[in-house]
Structure 1
Amino acid sequence: MQWDLTAFARHLEERGKSRLTIKAYLRDVAELERQSRGRAAHDITRQDVAHGLAARHAQGLSARSLARMLSAWRMFCDWLVERGERTSNPCLGLHAPKQGRRLPGALPVDATSAILDALPTGTALELRDKAMFELLYASGLRLTELTALDLADVDLEQELVTVRHGKGDKMRIVPLGRAAATAIAAWLAVRRSRDAAMFTTLSGGRLGARQVEKRLARCGERLGADRHLHPHMLRHSFASHLLQSSGDLRAVQELLGHSNLSTTQIYTSLDFQHLALVYDAAHPRAKKNGD
């Protein structure tokens, strides 16, 4: 049998696949046909499929795209088996490369400070926003943790904040830092609400997560930031900058509220230049003769 993609498309339609999915699958199977170099579909071997995946991976195709491609090839070969054109599916047992966990980009230290220093403070809302954004970066809070904060959770005298997260009301206490404490004090001086929430709306109710996201994105646009700003970026920047400066993964784990150290290892990323400097300064064999 040759590569009857028209019949395969009808099969996909009968399976209820969407037009876009069918188009993508046909494109992927056409790629397998090109790699077959003129051989019939029933002659494709497991080695051919593995080689095809490896070749596309070497060309830079993402893990997500490779997984979709293998899925299309597997479905096509299943269809051939159903039609009696093959006795087995050569794709069975093969797996695409695992998809790496995508990390949010951390801001450089200088850029983070420049943005926070440039935040306007002319109105009550601007004072509130500055307090929120300073706190996100100073303490590495999750967005849900920020919006869940109550007045009683913040100790400005000790510069500490009590953070609650997730089911079971897990709690940790983390430092605020002088800049965040100053910004929060300025916000509290103009805050007008009887609600227990630390950060409130103009009407006095607790501020929602989506509102925080919009306010930060808008601030970034007004200040000419070179990327879209979002709360998780400030948390990631907090973790990355702290880890770069201290190298203490356990301490960063505690501050972030991660249950497993492996999560912190994935979440935080050391700057390579920083690693190189540490290596050059610390490793005996890295030092030049005469140093």
Structure 2
Amino acid sequence: MSDDLLPYSGDRLAQARAFSGLTDEALRVRAVTAARDKAFEDLWALTLAYLTTETGGGVRLSPHTLRAYRKGIEVLVDHARDQAWNLLHPARREPSLYVTGLTALGLKPATVQARVAAAVALYRALRWAGATDADPFADVKRPKDRTKGIVKNPPYRSDFVAAMLAEADPHERALLLLLTHAGLRIAEALAVEWRHVDLERRRLLVAHGKGDKARRVPLSARLRDALTALQAEAGAAASGRVLPWRAYSTAYERLQKLALKCGREHEFRGFHAGRKYAGTQLYAATRDFTRVAGFLGHEQVDTTRRYVEVPEDDLDDIVERFS
């Protein structure tokens, strides 16, 4: 599902108000009916209203998170229909069998975990609506991935980034550098506005990071050059958002085609590997996970460790000098 099909945040708020404006009994009846009929669109609308009004992310939940929730709920509802589940009161062992079935299909542990997170969100929404007291996924064991994320999806290599930048158009170059030099998440990069850019002080304001936290990041010389070129091209029209794309899927397609143009399409792995590139480059220079965490907008340094590729020979010289 593309970002274009996800509700605009203003529409989400209006929808949430429509649900919240119902009487307790009307909301309960609506949720019970949707669960009884296994009506996916209605259940998704209910969950979206709950996520918008009752969670910390609210209207600023990222399109990526919403896509994952929507897909997970769709999969669960299809399974409930096929297996004749009573969604409001599933049998005690059904949720565990559902998770086991997802694993048996060959889905990666991270994907299974995302499906379970979506199911948990659906049942929170149903409890919020007063439709059930059930919390069937509370004690379900979720598969763990023993392979570190930095191994499965390592940072991009410098030669790949250089090749992409050499072939990129001005907007693609700015996007690449926002990811690989500024360390932004894709949602943060697409949301950057000209008023957030301070070329003179070499700073960029990330106004709404994950969890709606703001932070400032330094601008590299190459990123400043790229933004200066875009600003000169736009002239007096340099206002609003820096990048022309709103949808995650559109930006992904642009970089995917760029990799194909470079003859390196097999090396393109989405946006997060660019953010890991920034984190790894910064750690190599500072050897300080705390500073890298602040740069990437992580609350916990343990999270940052999953973004930094430490060379295997990092300790060789130190061990060599043992007395």
- Mark yes or no: TM-score above 0.5: yes
Counterpart pick for 1:199 among 243, 259, 264: 243
Long gaps (5+) in structure 2: 1-80, 86-96, 113-138
Summarize the Cα distance change of 1:153–1:194 in structure 2 as closer, same or farther, 3 Å threshold. Answer: closer
Aligned residue in 1 for 2:257: 218
Tell me the amino acid that sits aligned with residue 316 of structure 2.
D
Aligned residue in 2 for 1:164: 207
**SS of corresponding position for 1:135:** helix
Aligned residue in 2 for 1:287: 321
**SS of corresponding position for 1:139:** coil
**SS of corresponding position for 1:233:** helix
Counterpart pick for 2:144 among 78, 90, 98: 98
Q: TM-score, normalised by structure 1?
A: 0.57
Deviation of 1:234 (Å): 0.8
Tell me the amino acid that sits aligned with residue 144 of structure 2.
K
Deviation of 1:224 (Å): 1.3
Aligned residue in 1 for 2:182: 139
Deviation of 1:185 (Å): 0.8
Summarize the Cα distance change of 1:64–1:186 in structure 2 as closer, same or farther, 3 Å threshold. Answer: closer
2:277 counterpart of 1:237: yes
Deviation of 1:233 (Å): 1.6
Q: How many residues align?
A: 198
Deviation of 1:158 (Å): 1.9
**SS of corresponding position for 1:107:** coil
Aligned residue in 2 for 1:110: 159
Long gaps (5+) in structure 1: 1-12, 29-60, 68-92, 121-125, 202-206
Query: What is the distance in 2 between the residues matched to 1:115 and 1:186?
Result: 18
**Which moves more between the two structures, 235-244 or 251-260?**
235-244
**SS of corresponding position for 2:306:** helix
Query: What is the distance in 1 between the residues matched to 2:149 and 2:258?
Result: 25
Contact 2:181 2:278 in 1 (8 A): yes
Deviation of 1:145 (Å): 0.6
Tell me the amino acid that sits aligned with residue 299 of structure 2.
S
**SS of corresponding position for 1:272:** coil
Higher RCO by CA contacts (8 Å cutoff, separation 6 or greater): 2
Contact 1:106 1:234 in 2 (8 A): yes
List aligned pairs for 1:6-155, cutoff 5 A: 15-16=83-84, 64=109, 98-100=144-146, 102-103=149-150, 104-116=153-165, 118-120=166-168, 126-155=169-198
Summarize the Cα distance change of 1:270–1:194 in structure 2 as closer, same or farther, 3 Å threshold. Answer: closer
Identity over aligned pairs, percent: 24
Q: TM-score, normalised by structure 2?
A: 0.52
Counterpart pick for 1:179 among 215, 222, 225: 222
Contact 2:209 2:297 in 1 (8 A): no
Query: What is the distance in 1 between the residues matched to 2:277 and 2:159?
Result: 11
Aligned residue in 1 for 2:289: 249
Deviation readout 1:132-179 (Å, 9 max, x if unpaired): 212221110011111111111111122210112347741111111000
Aligned residue in 1 for 2:39: none
Tell me the amino acid that sits aligned with residue 262 of structure 2.
L
Query: What is the distance in 2 between the residues matched to 1:140 and 1:96?
Result: 30
Summarize the Cα distance change of 1:167–1:238 in structure 2 as closer, same or farther, 3 Å threshold. Answer: closer
Deviation readout 1:234-291 (Å, 9 max, x if unpaired): 1111112222333211111000000111111223231213x1xxx23234xx2389xx
Summarize the Cα distance change of 1:216–1:287 in structure 2 as closer, same or farther, 3 Å threshold. Answer: same
How well do the aligned residues superpose, as a CA RMSD in angstroms? 3.6
Query: What is the distance in 2 between the residues matched to 1:248 and 1:210?
Result: 34
**SS of corresponding position for 1:239:** helix
Contact 1:63 1:98 in 2 (8 A): no
Contact 2:154 2:309 in 1 (8 A): no
Deviation readout 1:202-237 (Å, 9 max, x if unpaired): xxxxx3332221111111111112422422221111
2:270 counterpart of 1:227: no
